[in-house]
Amino acid sequence: MPSPELDLSRIEGLLAESLGTTVSVAESEHVTPWSIWRCRLTAASDSDTFPQSVIVKMLRNDPKGFRIDPRQIATERAALEFLEESAFGSAPWLIASELDVNMLVMEDLPSNQSLAELIEQVGAERSVAGRRAFARTIGELHAVSAGRADMFYGRQARYCTVAPEADRLPVLGHRWSETSHRLEELGMAPNRRTAAELAMLHEVLAGDDPEHRKLLVLTNGDPEPNNFLVERGHGWLIDFEFAGYRHALTNLAWVNVPGPMWLTVADPHAETLETDYRKTAANVLPGLADDRVFGQGMAAAGFASAFRALNRFPVLDERPQGHRSRPQLVSILESAAATADRHRAFSHLAAWTRLLAEHLRRRWADADIDLAAIPSYTKR
């Protein structure tokens, strides 16, 4: 993927202004495939206050038009400044920035290994501590940001346009209307009771329901294990390009529903992860202590993740037999239904989601497999 050129002299100038000492970039390393560099530094005079290395992040130069909006860099700057003001210690420290060239200079964190990489390397059972740290860190983020949306969006407005409603909507993805039409063509349209629960799901996650409106918190916009760097039971959230206030439990869907990397999750420690999160955040967000409210939110977040994945049905339907994205979609749908059952929420939606999964199993013979026989966190 093409990346913008790195202007070392500009970086040195930004660092000198921010750190109060002359700094030289001794070496720079492109962290592929992103527009990110690790720069190792030397100072003109002896000083123990300047960092040995920093991370430089720039906007992607992507010919496919993905992640090329300058608002993303501005939003990340606003989020990192907001979190520093909030004394949240599990995100990178923003050292300097220059929005004219879409550049951020951040702390080089102690770990370079994501939780996703750790899970892939050592397996699900030996990475439990990392997943528990992720759940607790998300809880800490939600606790420090609860009720402070005006402060965050006020900070963001200094650097770019703000769109609080757009951060929460559309709940089921921009292509859900097309997906709904396709489901009608396949004879899989929801019945009246299921449609009513779909409307309730929207109210829950959009914050229209009074009980769930209190659960709107800051999220980084991509709460998956690949955006959590982990080391010895501690970790740091990264990638705040799409930060905004959303329903808290959209950040916990990964516990039960496979994200983009995984064929299956089936985490035997799912309830422990949910408990870790709730204990961390419930003092500030009392709705999380209510089993009914929490269960509704967890089920709704799982279904939203599943239906956004279902929006890709036309693409998957054209793929060759044996492509792992097909059983992955079945896994996502069935996992969302199982989550709802466990939390005793959205029973009609769960039954309909299982019918969708059964339809795909019949349509795609390569997707009709025993998912229970596949280990937790098997990579797609």
Give me the CATH number covering residue 247.
Answer: 3.90.1200.10
Round to whole Å and give the CA distance between 295 and 301. Answer: 10
Residue 6, pLDDT score: 87
Residues 83 and 143 in one domain: no
In our burial notation (b when 16+ CB lie closer than 10 A, e otherwise), range 334-355 reads bbbbbbbebbebbebbbbbbbe
Residues 370 and 308 in one domain: yes
Distance from chain centroid for Cα 375:
23
Choose among 253, 344, 247, 264: nearest CA to 303: 253
Specify the 3-state DSSP secondary structure of 74: helix
CA-based nearest residue to 50, from 93, 7, 1, 4? 93
Domain final position from 73, 107, 141: 107
Q: How far apart are CA 48 and CA 64, in angstroms?
A: 43
Structure tokens at 175: 């292509």
91 and 12 inside one domain: yes
For residues 96 and 43, state if they share a domain.
yes
Q: Per residue of the chain (380 residues), what is the pLDDT tens digit? A: 445 678 999 999 999 999 888 889 999 999 877 889 999 999 866 666 678 999 999 987 765 656 679 999 999 999 999 999 999 999 999 999 999 999 999 999 999 999 999 999 999 999 999 999 999 999 999 999 999 999 999 999 999 999 999 999 999 999 999 999 999 999 999 999 999 999 999 999 999 999 999 999 999 999 999 999 999 889 999 999 999 999 999 999 999 999 999 999 999 999 999 999 999 999 999 999 999 999 999 999 999 999 999 999 999 999 999 999 999 999 999 999 999 999 999 999 999 999 999 999 999 999 999 999 999 999 99
Q: Residue 113: phi, psi to the nearest 5?
A: -100, 125
Q: Are residues 177 and 234 in the same domain?
A: yes
Model confidence, pTM:
0.95
Considering the domain architecture, whether residues 70 and 96 belong to the same structural domain is answered as yes
> How many domains does the chain divide into?
2
What 282-291 contacts at long range (C-beta under 8 Å, 24+ apart), as own/partner pairs, is 283/143, 284/142, 284/143, 284/146, 285/142, 285/143, 285/146, 285/214, 285/215, 285/217, 285/248, 287/211, 287/212, 287/214, 287/215, 288/215, 288/248, 290/211
Nearest by Cα to 105 from 228, 47, 19: 19
Rounded Cα distance between 100 and 174, Å, is 30
Whichever domain contains 29, its CATH number is: 3.30.200.20
Q: Answer yes or no: do 119 and 61 share one domain.
A: no
Instruction: Say whether both 124 and 35 belong to one domain.
Output: no
Same domain, 206 and 69: no
Of 89, 107, 125, the residue at which a domain comes to its end is 107
Residue 60: helix, strand or coil by DSSP?
A: coil
3-state secondary structure of 68: coil
Are 78 and 218 found together in one domain?
A: no
The answer to the question of residue 2 being in a domain is: no
Residues of the domain holding 60: 8-107
pLDDT at 232: 86
The reply to whether 169 and 41 lie within a common domain is no
**120's tokens:** 């892939």
213 & 240 share domain: yes
For residue 164, whether the previous peptide bond is cis, meaning omega lies within 30 degrees of 0, is no
The reported pLDDT for the residue numbered 1 is 43
